[in-house]
Chain A
Amino acid sequence: MVKISLIINAQPWEIQVEPDETLLDAIRGKVGLTGTKKGCDSGECGACTVIMNGRSVNSCLVLAVEADGQEITTIEGLSHGQELHPLQAAFISEGAVQCGFCTPGMIMSAKALLDSNPHPSEQQIRQGMAGNLCRCTGYGRIVAAVEKAAQLIGGDRLDATGSRQTGNQV
């Protein structure tokens, strides 16, 4: 066992891990945050997506020991108490959640995308989320939810002709 210290959702943690334990298993098994899901365990499905030092990563392809000293955000870190993050609210209002297994990873990928590109085109959303598989929704509603969240976050509004105008950042 090796001791590592890391910050998860703005909270410092010290945990003991095996050298070959993934960050995914450590987050779920040692820290007890089970919102991050294990699907394929090999980088293909995106269910395990978390944000490490500002970038989305597959936590099944990061060793816990590699995360020593790093800053991690998981799906549990997005809401403020009862107040949902705009992405969470938009996924609900757009009906982008069915079984929900892919949703935490989808939302973390969408967050990383919007953090680096606040007003992505539909094409950019589809490309940015290509590493997240959903077996239920057919993706249309997920794309719509990300577009809606971008508007909520960026203060976009639609003008009379339906084309998007960028408003003030909130």
Chain B
Amino acid sequence: MSQQPFQYEAPQSLAELWSTLDLGQDGTRFLAGGTDLLVKYKRKQLSVTRLVDIKNIPDLQGVWLDAALGLRIGALTTLTDLAAHPLVNEHVPVLAAAASKMASAQVRNRATVGGNLCNAAPSADLAPPLLVLQARIKTLSAAGERELPLRHFFAGPGLSTLRPGELVSEVILPLPEGNTRAVYLKQGLRQAMDIAMVGVAVKLKLSGSLCEEAAIALGAVSPVPLRAESAEQYLKGRKLDAQSIAEGADLAAKEASPISDVRASALYRSQLVAALLKQGLQQCAGILTEGEN
């Protein structure tokens, strides 16, 4: 690729990783699926002197149910496996659906959950559904492990709060309560293979048409994916009807701070937030009322 090539290593265990990791070196990068990293490297947007392939480390793999914590998803889980996994489909179908609509089959076969979050694109499609599912992130470093809520993970476009030499090892999802429904709606320029102009995730806990809890997350409309808290608070405890849905959608649009770029203008993005959220609220409410009657 005509740049000064990097040194490549593929540790087989965490112990091997920590014993060889040199944090003094600026261009040390972790490689998962490479679908973000290699594209940036080729475009000369990323300097790499040492590439540490983490794919062979068993501690970062697997999807399993933990009685105390909920669903635990290893950082190396590919989007293909996330979309197909029985536990994901049973407990958090919104996440399986979101993964199945990302990128292409070829990219989904390589791209990982950890990579999608660590790349920290404002448009990362897993971020809004994981935010409404109240995901927690488990990290590992030579110094030990930590756990933090996903909402404290993103720090800006392309930036996370990971410390140097720290890995994401798992995403942990508390199991949603009964009577909750969640959807993720994404608008791109074309149906397939496009990054989101706007992504909206909604999770509602309903009792009849009364909204007991609302969680709303927006992607691609601010420097980091965010929860639309004023809309959430407004909807909580309200009856979902045409008027409250429209009001909630307007409130969420005001919380977005989108930019104009090649994909869409800021104004169009704000209007899309309202339109997608309206649709999302209707879908969640509709599914539930149907199910309960």
Q: Which residues on A are within 8 Å of B, measured CB to CB?
A: 2, 18-22, 41-44, 46, 49, 55-58, 61-63, 65-66, 109, 112-113, 127-132
Residue of B nearest to A65 (CB): B8
Query: Beyond the given A55-B109, A61-B35, A129-B105, could you list 5 further A-B residue pairs with CB under 8 A, ordered by the A residue number?
Result: A19-B7, A20-B1, A61-B39, A61-B107, A63-B31
CA distance A132 to B80 in the complex (A): 17
A43, A55, A131, A132 — which one has the most chain B CB atoms within 10 A of its CB? A43
Interface residue tally for chain B (C-beta within 8 Å): 30
Considering the complex, which residues of chain B in the window 61-117 have a beta carbon less than 8 Å from any beta carbon of chain A?
80, 103-107, 109-110
**A63, B106: Cβ atoms under 8 Å?**
no
Number of A-B contacts (CB under 8 A): 83
Asked if B192 lies at the interface with its beta carbon under 8 angstroms from chain A, I say: yes
For this complex, 26 residue pairs linking A to B, each with C-beta atoms less than 8 Å apart, are A18-B1, A19-B8, A19-B51, A42-B39, A42-B42, A43-B35, A43-B103, A43-B104, A43-B107, A44-B193, A56-B105, A57-B106, A57-B110, A61-B39, A61-B110, A62-B110, A63-B8, A63-B31, A63-B34, A65-B53, A113-B105, A130-B104, A130-B193, A131-B106, A131-B192, A131-B193
CA distance A128 to B101 in the complex (A): 11
CA distance A21 to B1 in the complex (A): 6
CA distance A127 to B106 in the complex (A): 12
**A131, B39: Cβ atoms under 8 Å?**
no
CA distance A2 to B6 in the complex (A): 12
Residue of A nearest to B55 (CB): A66
For A62, list chain B residues within 8 Å (CB).
34, 110
Asked if B38 lies at the interface with its beta carbon under 8 angstroms from chain A, I say: yes
Asked if B41 lies at the interface with its beta carbon under 8 angstroms from chain A, I say: yes
